[in-house]
């Protein structure tokens, strides 16, 4: 069965257009019949498939439709929408829908209304991207293959067009804006064309206009080339400027290092370098990783938000409610934690407070250092740009009089500000280094003192005495502070409680008339519910009778429909046989008329086709084929008789060819002087008659 959350979501979606159902969660759970749920599924499917003008789901009343047809229609549509039950267990889904199982009906209806817009888009695409089924006996037909190829190419074009349309919709360019832009471009085009026509008329009256046009074309090309060269020069100057800035920065750092080497001792220089190293190490190990992790967390959150589908108002309401509950739970846990910390572990809270103060100081110093470093970088950049401007404007007019004094005063102010900021930065870096070093020294001393105290306590047999005494002293010192904090906390809590009580009283006063009206409405609702139950009892009794009569009439209608189908099938069969008999009779009559003769039209047809009757024509063909068969049989007999002598003759010819080849080879060897000895032997054994 569906969960209460699913039923609530189902009731909310069905109450919205285009369904506008007034069903509540209780009605969905108890009073809505399976027939009504199946009709609602059919209506939702009809709204999803509304883009199909020939949809079989339009305005279907399932009471006037066979249950098998309803189940087949809805099951096929759900399989097209990739419903998991329709894909994995198609037959089981059809059986459950046929048996009106409430669990299957609720899951199907929830699947349809949950992603209603996605299903509409999928149904619209399936209307154009579905592949038509071709019987196997027609799949080899060239015309069918060409049509399937055309359909595939048209579907690919449709996919690209649909993707382009979706991108256009997502980019926010509506039709009105595009139409206005097109109209504006057309107007600009007309203006340009009118200007071009006017210029052509003016040019036609000028002597040597072609030469002037060629010169203008060359001028335009040179101007374009000049613009490209200017752009490249600008880029190269920018690169030179960046290189000069890096060089000036390196030179300034080198000057600072040399000045520090000459003005300070090696110990001071080493201490400063150590402070800078610690600062940079803190930034790289603590500050920068935190910043990077925060940025990555924001990116992950934004990516997850972008990956999620669009949320409705109900989803936002549920998320806000969950956030409120989580905040309330966090506040309760924090309050419990404060209570436990204040009652059990005051010493630990004190150390944590001190550590938090030191950490905040370090973070504040790092933030100020980062801000001053960024400001210093900006000032260095401005200083370098001013130097570049001075270099580039070497040939311009020099400042004189009041302008020069004003410029000098501005430079003095900026220099003073720069020196002050630099001094603050140096102080902060020095302070941070001192604090870092002080913390390390204090930790080292604390460890050494703790070890010494522990050794003394072990020696005298009072292990833990110093820690207990120190804890008692710190607890006694901080007790007053904790009491003050508790007092302030209690005052704040009492103020919050008083504010809440005042708010509650105000809300009660505001809700009093509404509650009174609600009581009256509850009484009316009870009366209406009693009336509704009575009407529902009458309706159910009437519905049972109507359904029984409907079932009986459906059975009769099914039988009559089957009889009609059988009669129609027999009628069409007899009609086809009758037409075939008429065609045969017409051919027989035409053959008889051709055989008898006397009709001019028939004689013209005979002259055109070259024979009188089909009987004579086919008899002539039979005689010709018989003669041809007889000739082929005689030829076959002759071939069989001559086969063996011919094969022997072929063998003899093969032997003669071998003998000639051997003689040819032997004569070649004799001519080449290779077989003279053998020839002499053969000559000696030869018998001469």
E strand or H helix at 306: helix 288-307
Q: How confident is the model at residue 314 (pLDDT cuts 50, 70, 90)?
A: low
In the chain, % of residues over pLDDT 70: 79
- Among the candidates 113, 130, 147, a domain finishes at 130
Based on the domain organization, do 256 and 315 belong to the same domain? Answer: no
The pTM assigned to this predicted structure is 0.29
Based on the domain organization, do 251 and 335 belong to the same domain? Answer: no
Joined tokens for residue 156: 């690919």
The answer for residues whose C-beta is within 8 angstroms of residue 154's C-beta and 6 or more apart is none
Question: What pLDDT is attached to residue 666?
Answer: 93
User: pLDDT, tens digit, for every residue of 650-672?
Assistant: 999 999 999 999 999 999 999 98
Number of structural domains found in the chain: 3
User: pLDDT, tens digit, for every residue of 140-182?
Assistant: 777 777 777 888 888 788 777 777 776 666 555 556 667 788 8
Based on the domain organization, do 320 and 225 belong to the same domain? Answer: no
- Write the CATH number for 15: 1.10.418.70
Q: In angstroms, how far apart are the furthest CA atoms of the chain?
A: 160
Joined tokens for residue 153: 């190419």
Based on the domain organization, do 12 and 107 belong to the same domain? Answer: yes
Question: What pLDDT is attached to residue 657?
Answer: 94
Question: What pLDDT is attached to residue 689?
Answer: 38
* Rounded Cα gap, residues 665 and 358, in angstroms: 114
436: in domain = no
User: pLDDT, tens digit, for every residue of 355-392?
Assistant: 667 777 777 777 777 777 777 777 777 777 776 666 66
Q: What is the mean pLDDT of residues 552-567?
A: 88
Query: What is the DSSP secondary structure assignment for residue 528, as one 8-state letter?
Result: H
User: pLDDT, tens digit, for every residue of 593-650?
Assistant: 777 766 777 777 777 777 777 778 888 889 999 999 999 999 988 888 888 888 999 9
Based on the domain organization, do 120 and 57 belong to the same domain? Answer: yes
Based on the domain organization, do 332 and 219 belong to the same domain? Answer: no
> Is residue 465 scored above 70 in pLDDT?
no
The answer for residues whose C-beta is within 8 angstroms of residue 366's C-beta and 6 or more apart is 282, 283, 287, 432
Based on the domain organization, do 35 and 91 belong to the same domain? Answer: yes
E strand or H helix at 286: none
Joined tokens for residue 107: 């899951």
In the chain, % of residues over pLDDT 90: 6
* Rounded Cα gap, residues 164 and 162, in angstroms: 5
Between residues 472 and 94, the one the model is more confident about: 94
What is the residue range of 28's domain? 4-130
Between residues 238 and 276, the one the model is more confident about: 238
The lowest-confidence range among 40-54, 301-315, 356-370 is: 301-315
Q: What is the mean pLDDT of residues 263-278?
A: 71
Question: What pLDDT is attached to residue 564?
Answer: 92
Joined tokens for residue 67: 């249950």
* Rounded Cα gap, residues 316 and 308, in angstroms: 13
Q: How confident is the model at residue 260 (pLDDT cuts 50, 70, 90)?
A: low
396: in domain = no
Q: What is the mean pLDDT of residues 189-203?
A: 82
Q: What is the mean pLDDT of residues 210-238?
A: 86
30: in domain = yes
The single residue listed with the structure tokens 């189908």 is: 565
User: pLDDT, tens digit, for every residue of 55-84?
Assistant: 777 777 888 888 888 888 888 888 877 777
185: in domain = no
> Is residue 565 scored above 70 in pLDDT?
yes
372: in domain = no
176: in domain = no
Q: How confident is the model at residue 15 (pLDDT cuts 50, 70, 90)?
A: confident
* Rounded Cα gap, residues 116 and 12, in angstroms: 13
Q: Helix (H) and strand (E) counts for the chain?
A: 20, 0
Closest CA to 21 of 40, 45, 42, 46: 40
* Rounded Cα gap, residues 311 and 211, in angstroms: 67
The lowest-confidence range among 103-107, 163-167, 484-488 is: 484-488
Based on the domain organization, do 14 and 115 belong to the same domain? Answer: yes
How far, in Å, are 194, 196, 206, 220, 522 from residue 200 at the CA level?
Answer: 10, 6, 10, 18, 87
Question: What pLDDT is attached to residue 682?
Answer: 45
Q: How confident is the model at residue 124 (pLDDT cuts 50, 70, 90)?
A: confident
- Among the candidates 130, 146, 179, a domain finishes at 130
Q: How confident is the model at residue 398 (pLDDT cuts 50, 70, 90)?
A: low
> Is residue 303 scored above 80 in pLDDT?
no
Query: What is the DSSP secondary structure assignment for residue 394, as one 8-state letter?
Result: T
Based on the domain organization, do 111 and 215 belong to the same domain? Answer: no
156: in domain = no
- Among the candidates 319, 344, 369, a domain finishes at 344
Question: What pLDDT is attached to residue 686?
Answer: 44
The packing angle between helices 116-129 and 67-80, to 10°, is 90
Average pLDDT of the chain, as a whole number? 77
Closest CA to 51 of 113, 112, 111, 117: 117
The SS3 of residue 393 is coil
Based on the domain organization, do 123 and 11 belong to the same domain? Answer: yes
Q: How confident is the model at residue 101 (pLDDT cuts 50, 70, 90)?
A: confident
| First-to-last C-alpha distance (Å) of the chain | 124
Between residues 294 and 27, the one the model is more confident about: 294
279: in domain = no
Based on the domain organization, do 97 and 214 belong to the same domain? Answer: no
> Is residue 347 scored above 60 in pLDDT?
no
- Contact between 2 and 10 under an 8 Å Cβ cutoff? The reply is yes
Question: What pLDDT is attached to residue 449?
Answer: 78
E strand or H helix at 350: helix 346-392
Based on the domain organization, do 259 and 317 belong to the same domain? Answer: no
Q: Give 291-305 as a DSSP string.
A: HHHHHHHHHHHHHHH
Query: What is the DSSP secondary structure assignment for residue 16, as one 8-state letter?
Result: S
* Rounded Cα gap, residues 346 and 317, in angstroms: 42
């Amino acid at each position: 069965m569906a969960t209460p959350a699913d039923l609530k979501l189902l009731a909310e979606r069905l109450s919205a257009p285009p369904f506008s159902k007034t069903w509540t969660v209780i009605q969905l759970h108890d009073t809505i019949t399976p027939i009504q749920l199946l009709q609602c599924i059919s209506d939702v499917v009809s709204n999803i498939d509304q883009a199909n003008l020939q949809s079989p789901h339009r305005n279907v009343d399932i009471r006037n439709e066979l249950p098998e047809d309803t189940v087949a229609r809805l099951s096929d549509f759900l399989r097209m929408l990739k419903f998991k039950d329709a894909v994995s267990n198609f037959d089981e889904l059809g059986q459950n829908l046929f048996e009106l199982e409430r669990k299957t009906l609720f899951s199907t209806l929830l699947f349809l209304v949950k992603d209603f817009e996605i299903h509409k888009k999928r149904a619209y695409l399936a209307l154009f991207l579905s592949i038509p089924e071709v019987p196997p006996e027609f799949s080899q037909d060239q015309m069918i293959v060409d049509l399937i190829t055309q359909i595939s190419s048209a579907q690919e074009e449709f996919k690209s067009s649909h993707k382009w349309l979706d991108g256009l919709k997502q980019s926010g360019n509506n039709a009105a804006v595009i139409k206005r832009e097109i109209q504006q471009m057309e107007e600009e085009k007309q203006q340009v064309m009118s200007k071009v026509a006017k210029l052509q008329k003016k040019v036609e009256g000028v002597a040597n206009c072609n030469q002037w046009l060629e010169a203008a074309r060359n001028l335009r090309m040179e101007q374009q080339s000049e613009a490209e060269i200017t752009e490249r020069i600008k880029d190269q100057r920018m690169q030179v400027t960046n290189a000069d800035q890096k060089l000036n920065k390196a030179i300034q750092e080198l000057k600072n290092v040399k000045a520090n080497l000459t003005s300070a001792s090696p110990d001071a220089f080493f201490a400063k370098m150590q402070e800078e190293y610690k600062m940079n190490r803190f930034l790289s190990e603590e500050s920068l990783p935190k910043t990077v992790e925060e940025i990555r967390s924001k990116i992950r959150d934004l990516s997850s938000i972008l990956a999620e589908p669009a949320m409705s108002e109900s989803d936002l309401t549920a998320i806000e409610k969950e956030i409120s509950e989580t905040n309330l739970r966090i506040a309760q846990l924090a309050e419990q934690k404060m209570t436990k910390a204040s009652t059990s572990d005051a010493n630990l809270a004190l150390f944590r407070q001190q550590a938090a103060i030191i950490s905040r100081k370090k973070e504040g110093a790092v933030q100020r250092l980062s801000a001053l470093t960024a400001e210093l970088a900006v000032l260095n950049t401005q200083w370098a740009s001013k130097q570049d401007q001075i270099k580039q404007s070497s040939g311009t007019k020099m400042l004189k009089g009041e302008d020069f004094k004003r410029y000098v005063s501005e430079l003095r102010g900026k220099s003073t500000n720069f020196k002050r900021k630099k001094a603050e930065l140096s102080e902060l870096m020095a302070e941070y280094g001192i604090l870092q070093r002080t913390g390390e020294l204090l930790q080292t001393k604390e460890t050494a003192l703790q070890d010494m105290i522990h050794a003394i306590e072990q020696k005298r047999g009072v292990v833990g005495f110093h820690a207990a005494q120190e804890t008692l002293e710190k607890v006694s010192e901080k007790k007053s502070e904790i009491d003050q904090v508790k007092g302030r906390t209690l005052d704040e809590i009492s103020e919050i409680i008083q504010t809440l009580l005042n708010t509650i009283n105000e809300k009660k006063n505001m809700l009093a008339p509404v509650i009174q009206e609600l009581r009256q409405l509850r009484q009316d609702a009870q009366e209406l519910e009693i009336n509704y139950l009575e009407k529902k009892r009458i309706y159910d009794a009437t519905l049972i009778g109507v359904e029984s009569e409907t079932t009986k009439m459906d059975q009769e209608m099914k039988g009559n429909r089957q009889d009609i189908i059988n009669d129609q099938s027999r009628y069409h069969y007899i009609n086809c046989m009758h037409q075939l008999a008429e065609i045969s009779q017409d051919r027989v009559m035409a053959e008889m008329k051709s055989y008898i003769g006397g009709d001019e039209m028939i004689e013209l047809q005979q002259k055109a086709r070259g024979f009188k009757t089909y009987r004579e024509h086919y008899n002539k063909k039979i005689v010709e084929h018989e003669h041809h068969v007889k000739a082929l049989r005689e030829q076959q007999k002759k071939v069989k008789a001559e086969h063996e002598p011919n094969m022997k003759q072929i063998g003899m010819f093969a032997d003669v060819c071998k003998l000639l080849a051997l003689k040819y080879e032997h004569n070649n060897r004799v001519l080449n002087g290779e077989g003279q000895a053998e020839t002499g032997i053969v000559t000696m054994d030869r018998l001469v008659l």
